[in-house]
Structure 1
């Protein structure tokens, strides 16, 4: 994996985590519980995916240095 791809994956992971946490804080009150459950699951899954992307990017960056 090239360094450019590694940097892209890390940046994408950071952006994904930031964006979904921001969405979680911006959810307005007044919705049904199912709305919050579904969005909570979406937020959790996307944060996990962002962490995985960041980890793959960091691992690729470290292998590229060796």
Structure 2
């Protein structure tokens, strides 16, 4: 779970950073993708918290 959380956070943060490069798109495109990126970073944080607790419990 920790690896998945790290991957998700990295992937969506990089996507959010790269949205500015490339052709100009409608504002709604950017809003939707920034909301998706923010939601997935929050999900990654939740997965990291659950994974951390499970890892500590198993030790």
- Please report the TM-score for the alignment, with normalisation by the length of structure 1: 0.81
Q: TM-score, normalised to structure 2's length?
A: 0.90
Q: Could you list the runs of 4 or more consecutive aligned residues of structure 1 that deviate by over 3 angstroms after TM superposition?
A: none
Give the aligned CA root-mean-square deviation in angstroms. 0.9
| Structure label with greater radius of gyration | 1
Unaligned runs of 5+ in 1: 1-8
C-alpha displacement of 1:32: 1.0
In structure 2, the gaps of 5 or more residues are: none
- Which residue number corresponds to residue 52 of structure 2? 58
